[in-house]
Amino acid sequence: MQKTVHIIGAGISGLSAAVRLANAGHKVHVHEATQQAGGRCRSYFDAQTNLTIDNGNHLLLSGNHHAVSYARAIGTEAGLVGPKIAQFPFVDFTTGQRWLLDLGEGRLPLWVFDDDRRVPDTGVFDYFALAPLTWSSTRRTVGDAIRCEGMLYNRLVQPLLLAALNVDPPEGSAGLAGAVVRETLLAGGPACRPLIARDGLSAVLVEPAVKMLESKGCEVRLGHELREFVKSGDRVTGLNFGGDDIALGPDDAVVMAVPPRAAATLLPGLSTPTKFRAIVNAHFRFDPPPNAPPILGVVGGLVEWLFAFPQRLSVTISNGDRLVDQPREELARAIWADVCKAAGVSGDLPPWQIVRERRATFEATPEQNALRPGAVTSFKNLFLAGDWTDTGLPATIEGSVRSGDRAADLVLAMR
């Protein structure tokens, strides 16, 4: 029987749930509070650089199976571009060394045994010392599980986990870090090819989903903020949009795919993470040098990752709370100095934009991870999605899509 499903929130989790349900033949209505779909994963035209930029540079890996399947479902898998082999160039500002971390094409992590492919100045046994991380309990921190110092830590583990967890790795959840390591480094080269939405997050991961939904007769309403659930017993029976209310039929279902603070307001008593961390992105209108890699890891700098896009160099700085109140131009100049060093370019500060997402992700510590709820609620026809729900992963696109897929599967299984 065809159900009508209301999805609250048009971020990646809401859109992925909507796409899965629409493909299963159900009537889907997506309600988004803001005037743009995409949530924390979106593009917009920036007058300062005269370019369409993303709110943040988003890196996916080829092993992000749910995210890649989602792109395939909306017809944009080819828009996720990256090198054919899992290779990551790095530069270390403290020593000036540059190297290519080459995870190769094989499933087995043989690169660890090859001096020319692993991180310089590290030995095989350094890698074995990471073993306790791979199956660590969610109650432990990374600092409890492994030694957070030394060349391998500084040059690989710290950059990888900082990007994935968005907290200083020693305080991060060892359980979440372990999931990342299992699904990336341990899964070998085929799972680690970097993928970037080169034509922009909205063009690759958001707008095609909206178009696909609309082509199937589904509706995506922007500027349509849910104010309250109407409940009766163990069911949600209506949606209150502030004067524009919708009554639900007995077979109808709802997926709430909003951020944690909005979720806690809409569903009082719901356990959600309460602490968040910022991510800072800087975009410079500057033609990358012809040999610039699409992504460069920077060790020992303010900049952590440098991305080369057509007409633009962009950087990501995770765990960026310390930078959110720094004067914008001062920050842009400091970042540009790092960009020049890393990319081997020079020149005055070009047109720039700084995007500081204050609540980019929940704080991936054991304490906050323990507050994440599952997808099921005490209401039989209401399910949760979002990168902050209990996906087993840190706040990532892969986690968002997994949560959306899971919520959709629960709706499909509903009797």
Ligand X SMILES: Cc1cc2nc3c(=O)[nH]c(=O)nc-3n(C[C@H](O)[C@H](O)[C@H](O)COP(=O)(O)OP(=O)(O)OC[C@H]3O[C@@H](n4cnc5c(N)ncnc54)[C@H](O)[C@@H]3O)c2cc1C
Which residues from 137-196 bind ligand X, rule CB under 6 A?
A: none
* Shortest reach from residue 80's CB to ligand X, in Å: 12
Judged by beta carbon, residue 168 or residue 357, the one nearer ligand X is 357
Which residues have a Cβ under 8 Å from the Cβ of 206 and sit 6 or more positions away? 10, 12, 15, 37, 38, 41, 42, 43
What is the C-alpha separation between 252 and 246, in angstroms, rounded? 11
Q: Could you say which of 4, 23, 34, 237 contacts ligand X (CB under 6 A)?
A: 34
Q: How many CA atoms lie within 13 A of 9 on its CB side?
A: 27
Whether 393 and 361 have beta carbons less than 8 Å apart is answered as no
Residue-wise burial string across 59-74, b where 16 or more C-beta atoms lie within 10 A, e elsewhere: bbbbbbebbbebbebb
* Shortest reach from residue 394's CB to ligand X, in Å: 8
Which single residue is written with the structure tokens 């090819």?
A: 193
375 makes contact with ligand X (CB under 6 A): no
Judged by beta carbon, residue 121 or residue 409, the one nearer ligand X is 409
> Site mask, ligand X, residues 35-74, x = CB under 6 A?
----xxx-------------xx-xxx--------------
DSSP 38: B
Stretch that binds ligand X, among 113-121, 329-337, 363-371, 396-404 (CB under 6 A): 396-404
Q: Could you say which of 20, 32, 70, 191 contacts ligand X (CB under 6 A)?
A: 32
Q: What are phi and psi of 301, to 5 degrees?
A: -125, 180
CA 285 to chain centre: 24
Judged by beta carbon, residue 186 or residue 256, the one nearer ligand X is 256
202 makes contact with ligand X (CB under 6 A): no
Both tokens of residue 5? 């499903």
Judged by beta carbon, residue 32 or residue 183, the one nearer ligand X is 32
360 makes contact with ligand X (CB under 6 A): yes
Binding site for ligand X (CB under 6 A): 8-14, 31-34, 39-41, 55-56, 58-60, 225-226, 257-259, 262, 279, 281, 357, 360-361, 386-387, 395-398, 400
